[in-house]
Amino acid sequence: MDRDIKRANLKNIAVVLNEPRYPENIGAAARCCKNMGIDRLVCVKPRLLDKEKMLKMATHESAELIENLEVFDSLKECLEKFNMVIGTTARTGRQRRPTDTPRSIAKDIVRISQENKVALLFGSEKFGLTNDDLKLCHRLVTIPTAEFSSINLAQSVMILCYEIFVATSSIKTPCPKIASVKELEGMYEHLKEACLAIGFINPENPDYWMNNIRRLFARIELRSKEVRVIRGFCRQILWAVKNKPTRKEN
């Protein structure tokens, strides 16, 4: 059977700006999105929403993205309906999760976006994405640079969106609908509770140990049914611990 050559389903892709500091950067990001065919722009806890400044940088052609701008107070709430979150980070190292480049991840996004909602997540201009923000990401991207690695927010948006726009992938079977961020976060909380109950992770720093579990499942692309199976397993563990018979003394 011949494989189907596809491009990304741009209707399923959104650019999410977490805590952007400058309205001009929001407007410039909107222009980049429009250039690359992405019609959904989301902001989380923006420092300042000056519509005039945003529209000036967005230009007339992408003004609709500013008019339809979605704004959230919580990153977790913003992402909960997405099936895949691609986080961007400039910080790499042995203690941090491995990263892709925009070009290497673009083909995967082509495959995943056919049936799933994808968020391209960018951090604030000053701090980037925190470790807590990165926990919500399935994959991480670093944009390669020469010695000077500081890239403007809108430039980062353009580079990643461009690579997705031009990418093609040979798809024999499209990626099925995978679990949402909301479903996964519920599963991780359930797993943490079960792991603590049986003494599998250190209670003094459970999130450190949970990060390894998150990395494992992030590579698997779990479906909703599989998430329900894992949560059922957790419920059974917690029930068994709670109802463990006590030894009778002689």
pLDDT by residue (tens digit) across 53-74? 999 999 999 999 999 999 999 9
Do 199 and 232 lie in one domain? The reply is: yes
Name the band, by pLDDT with cuts 50, 70 and 90, for residue 248.
low
What's 197's domain CATH number?
1.10.8.590
- Which of 17-31, 39-53, 232-246 has the least mean pLDDT? 232-246
Do 196 and 81 lie in one domain? The reply is: no
Give the predicted TM-score (pTM) of the model. 0.88
Per the rule left: phi > 0, alpha: psi between -120 and 50, beta: everything else, 67 is alpha
- Give 122's contacts (C-beta < 8 A, 6+ positions apart): 15, 16, 17, 18, 29, 88, 129, 153, 156, 157
- Which of 82-86, 175-179, 204-208, 242-246 has the least mean pLDDT? 242-246
Average pLDDT over residues 17-42: 96
Distance CA 56, CA 238 (A): 56
Q: Is residue 219 part of a domain?
A: yes
Name the band, by pLDDT with cuts 50, 70 and 90, for residue 185.
very high
For residue 221, give its domain range: 181-242
Query: For residue 172, what is the DSSP state?
Result: S
- Give 211's contacts (C-beta < 8 A, 6+ positions apart): 135
Q: How far is CA 245 from CA 239, 240, 248, in A?
A: 12, 9, 9
Do 201 and 160 lie in one domain? The reply is: no
Do 206 and 159 lie in one domain? The reply is: no
